[in-house]
């Protein structure tokens, strides 16, 4: 006769029943995280490719180049559908040169978070005044312009049961900057 605590039959089954949900959750979390990394890498490549192709198509109008860039990103991302009922956001900002794309830095002596005329600043272009970023009108720029591309790609979890952990969607964001060709060339 065995007493309580001496019978070890079924212990492995009980231990497995206790640990299996945790192990499955960890495995699904790893798969989900890998899914987001894979989509982010694909998005980075798609935006970089579309930007590279866009800088050489200066014989087309801005609207045609913009449409081709958006279609190229959609084509390259076709294997990774965005989250249901969500929209991919693609924006471009045009600058005359790289230095125009961000404001000159400053030392915030009084700690108010904004530039005050008495505070020292980094005069990158040596014009004697602090310059903010200065975008120009347009979507894709003209010859020699610098175009900043920013894409927000809403991605749903791979497993629905991971939504309480990851949410209904994660907005994957990527950006790149490219300078248009110095002259109008052939259409790709």
Same domain, 77 and 88: yes
> Which residues have C-beta within 8 Å of that of residue 78, sequence separation ≥ 6?
none
Half-sphere exposure of 116 (CA within 13 A, CB side): 8
Please state the pTM of the whole predicted model: 0.76
Q: Please provide the distance, in angstroms rounded to a whole number, between the alpha carbons at the two ends of the chain.
A: 86
Same domain, 36 and 117: no
Of the pLDDT bands very low, low, confident and very high (cuts 50, 70, 90), residue 185 is low
Of the pLDDT bands very low, low, confident and very high (cuts 50, 70, 90), residue 172 is very high
**Which residues constitute the domain of residue 129?**
102-133
**Tens of pLDDT, residues 126-162:** 788 887 777 888 899 989 899 999 999 999 998 988 8
Total of domains in the chain = 2
Same domain, 128 and 169: no
- For residue 68, give both structure tokens: 């081709």
Same domain, 34 and 57: yes
Mean pLDDT for 48-76 is 94
- Distance in angstroms (rounded) separating the CA atoms of residues 123 and 178: 24
Same domain, 112 and 29: no
- Distance in angstroms (rounded) separating the CA atoms of residues 129 and 122: 9
- How high is the pLDDT of residue 96? 87
Same domain, 126 and 173: no
- For residue 74, give both structure tokens: 């959609």
Same domain, 129 and 48: no
Same domain, 88 and 123: no
DSSP 106: B
Half-sphere exposure of 12 (CA within 13 A, CB side): 1
Strand order in the sheet with 135-136: 135-136, 89-95, 146-155, 170-179
- Distance in angstroms (rounded) separating the CA atoms of residues 144 and 181: 6
Of the pLDDT bands very low, low, confident and very high (cuts 50, 70, 90), residue 90 is very high
- How high is the pLDDT of residue 47? 97
- How high is the pLDDT of residue 75? 97
- For residue 137, give both structure tokens: 């009108």
Of the pLDDT bands very low, low, confident and very high (cuts 50, 70, 90), residue 183 is confident
Same domain, 91 and 113: no
φ, ψ of residue 161 to 5 degrees: the values are -70, -5
Same domain, 108 and 61: no
Examine residue 5 and state whether it is found in any structural domain, yes or no: no
- For residue 119, give both structure tokens: 């505070």
Q: How far is CA 169 from CA 38, 86, 121, 152, 164, in A?
A: 15, 9, 40, 12, 11
């Amino acid at each position: 006769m065995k007493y309580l605590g001496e019978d070890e039959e079924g212990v492995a089954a009980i231990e497995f029943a206790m640990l299996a949900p945790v192990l499955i959750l960890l495995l699904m979390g790893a798969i989900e995280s890998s899914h987001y990394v894979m989509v982010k890498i694909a998005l980075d490549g798609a935006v970089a490719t579309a930007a590279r192709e866009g800088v050489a198509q200066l014989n087309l109008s801005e609207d045609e180049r913009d449409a081709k860039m958006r279609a190229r990103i959609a084509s390259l991302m076709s294997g990774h559908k965005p989250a249901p009922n969500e929209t991919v956001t693609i924006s471009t900002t045009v600058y005359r040169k790289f230095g125009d794309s961000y404001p000159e830095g400053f030392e915030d002596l009084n700690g108010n978070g904004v530039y005050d005329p008495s505070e020292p600043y980094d005069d990158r272009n040596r014009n004697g005044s602090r310059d903010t970023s200065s975008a120009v009108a347009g979507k894709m720029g003209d010859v020699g312009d610098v175009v900043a591309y920013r894409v927000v790609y809403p991605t749903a979890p791979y497993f629905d049961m991971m939504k309480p952990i990851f949410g209904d969607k994660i907005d994957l964001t990527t950006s790149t900057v490219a300078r248009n060709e110095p002259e109008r060339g052939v259409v790709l």
